[in-house]
Structure 1
């Protein structure tokens, strides 16, 4: 989310003066053209108070034309500040920004989102949730998150080193990247789909990058230990390898590019939607197709038959068969098609769509 907001500010700064209020920890990577005002992130109530004060101050002194909240959480701040100076009030919203069921949030935040002049949804699902929450359809625009397209593939020697270091040289790699939450469904994939995949492809290795979140507003987690225990019980304990969190961009790129495919077994859970599925776009940018359940915003992030395969939610037999089909059929073509699909989400394209979401006479 932080990376998305920085890219949004950076792209908009090509067309307008941009001031941004955000967590003090997020200042280091800020774009040069953007003026930044910091507010400590923790505790959250303090961040909201200080960010709100900064927004009111900017509204009075700078008088911007648009005040854009980076998520639904800061939408009330954007609304109040915009009303102080006559600016357009907008928010870029994710699935959980609308779907959160907490009574205080629904009583205070959802009405504020309804009153915004523009609601930019990250997916078709999020747009539909916004309509169901009472946001007028004419206020809503859909702009999918962007992705950084690699300038070139990783050097083969770097990929070989990554494989050797992690003892993966002789494996067909199924990659999972992301937080280990209940919604992401990795434990269920290991239990219900991985055994059939391993039976057909004994060299298959599920490589997991990520960990259970320690600081999340509401996500329920799946621990490494619980996933390994399920793998052991299913007889595939030797076919799963945890790499933890990788922050080095080059190493993460090597992981994507040495993988045969990316598995994305997101579950369909009431009140906990997958707003988009950014990791599937990141995988496609590196030429790695994804196999996933067709749920939530994932259907916008994977093009069936081009950047991967989509199967009905909770059908683990179909999921396993889709994985095997991708592994066994024209891997070079899958890679080429996935890369082509990812080009639709390049950050400059994202910036153009964000700009188009506002009235042309403003930005």
Structure 2
């Protein structure tokens, strides 16, 4: 599976394999998720039995933490869980009041942003065992040359002529917190006519029965169901706005190579997130990818985005849902392309220096080594006794 969390997991496993002997239990796309979860406990037990020298267990999201609560009672091995955002803020009473306290009993918590760490601490996690390690980005993305053929490809494949246009780009699924429909309704109509927006990401035009049914539920319940199942809660409104806005084009999901070229083609990358109760943006990996492709970022200054986009360095942080601020800043930056080019180049250098996957892996290793060392010391004391 491909997404921010999956990419982070893949890079973490690959990087840590250079330092430790690692044993990976991961869901593989195409298989039954139900069957995978049914066999998860026995797979872990088998792995531990066959490899008695395992010194640490890492669970890469809160859902895995819940599925593996039994580990604390059945092993003496340190267990550390990584939290990404929604896996700590999911607004269900039983989750918040019954399960979160159990998650806080694991040996350590690693959060992908300061915002996610704050959410953990507010829920009673031990501050001395809760760490922030920012996600990284593949810095090699900045070394891939820009291919101007992407302009012709947009014309031929999507009937989009960007000649003489200023180009804004957004990337992501149309979920409410991304703020896409808000941006389409409140910002796009007030931008100059030579500014166009390209939207990239999965976009449904037909909704299955269950998804339609979830939207018919009371709002609070509907939101919980949509969050739990990862449904595109903003898709309908985005779809309606696409019919109304002549300078907005939705490209759907693109091949990764084309995505990178569109990011480089763009003048600005846009992350107009809004606050949604119980759902937060844990980080903002795609902003780093845009920055590595030499594109300056405009983002809402909320939640985990502020750990990926550093104001004045690789982007500007703007007030969430403040349409005049967004309109003015977009016009300001697009009116001086020389300045914007300099900002973009500086942003790429900043991201390259501060957000490599190698740096993320090294920070995880520091935490893991601390717990492995503590575990060895504990074992030594036990033997002496």
Q: Taking structure 2 as the reference length, what is the TM-score of the superposition?
A: 0.82
What CA distance in whole angstroms lies between the structure 2 residues aligned with 1:255 and 1:133? 41
Deviation at 1:49, TM superposition (A): 2.9
What CA distance in whole angstroms lies between the structure 2 residues aligned with 1:96 and 1:78? 18
What CA distance in whole angstroms lies between the structure 1 residues aligned with 2:43 and 2:345? 46
| Structure with the larger RCO, 1 or 2 (CA within 8 Å, 6+ apart) | 2
CA deviations on 1:309-328 (whole Å, 9 max, x unpaired) are: 11122111111212222222
Structure 2 stretches lacking a partner, 5+ long: 205-210, 212-225, 374-385
Question: Which residue is equivalent to 1:192?
Answer: 186
Q: Is the 8 A contact 2:90 2:227 kept in 1?
A: no
Question: Which residue is equivalent to 2:379?
Answer: none
Q: Is the 8 A contact 2:72 2:106 kept in 1?
A: no
1:285/1:82 CA distance change after superposition, 3 Å: farther
Q: Does 1:140 align with 2:140?
A: no
Q: Figure out how many residues of one structure are paired with residues of the other and give that number.
A: 341
Residue of structure 2 aligned with 1:238, choices 246, 255, 260: 246
Q: Taking structure 1 as the reference length, what is the TM-score of the superposition?
A: 0.86
1:20/1:87 CA distance change after superposition, 3 Å: same
CA RMSD of aligned residues (A): 2.3
1:301/1:125 CA distance change after superposition, 3 Å: same
Q: Does 1:205 align with 2:209?
A: no
Question: Which residue is equivalent to 1:73?
Answer: 63
Q: Is the 8 A contact 1:307 1:341 kept in 2?
A: yes
What CA distance in whole angstroms lies between the structure 2 residues aligned with 1:67 and 1:181? 32
The worse-fitting range, judged by mean Cα deviation, of 184-193 and 150-159 is: 150-159
Question: Which residue is equivalent to 1:221?
Answer: 232
Residues 162-181 of structure 1 aligned to structure 2 (within 5 Å): 162-165=153-156, 166=158, 167-170=160-163, 171-181=165-175
What CA distance in whole angstroms lies between the structure 1 residues aligned with 2:40 and 2:370? 28
Deviation at 1:137, TM superposition (A): 0.5
Question: Which residue is equivalent to 2:23?
Answer: 19
Deviation at 1:67, TM superposition (A): 0.5
Question: Which residue is equivalent to 1:359?
Answer: 369
Q: Does 1:349 align with 2:359?
A: yes
**Residue 335 of structure 1 aligns to a residue in which SS?**
helix
Q: Does 1:321 align with 2:321?
A: no
What CA distance in whole angstroms lies between the structure 2 residues aligned with 1:107 and 1:224? 31
1:137/1:8 CA distance change after superposition, 3 Å: same
Deviation at 1:12, TM superposition (A): 0.7
Residues 121-132 of structure 1 aligned to structure 2 (within 5 Å): 121-132=111-122
What CA distance in whole angstroms lies between the structure 1 residues aligned with 2:335 and 2:47? 57
Q: Which has the larger radius of gyration?
A: 2
Deviation at 1:157, TM superposition (A): 3.8
Question: Which residue is equivalent to 1:8?
Answer: 12
Deviation at 1:306, TM superposition (A): 1.8
The worse-fitting range, judged by mean Cα deviation, of 334-343 and 7-16 is: 334-343
Structure 1 stretches lacking a partner, 5+ long: 27-39
1:269/1:112 CA distance change after superposition, 3 Å: same
**Residue 120 of structure 2 aligns to a residue in which SS?**
helix
Deviation at 1:52, TM superposition (A): 2.0
**Residue 269 of structure 2 aligns to a residue in which SS?**
strand
CA deviations on 1:47-72 (whole Å, 9 max, x unpaired) are: 33312221122223313111110100
Q: Does 1:259 align with 2:266?
A: yes
What CA distance in whole angstroms lies between the structure 1 residues aligned with 2:59 and 2:120? 15
Deviation at 1:161, TM superposition (A): 3.5
CA deviations on 1:208-235 (whole Å, 9 max, x unpaired) are: 10124789624453565632533555xx
**Residue 51 of structure 1 aligns to a residue in which SS?**
helix
Residues 46-61 of structure 1 aligned to structure 2 (within 5 Å): 46-61=35-50
Deviation at 1:277, TM superposition (A): 1.4
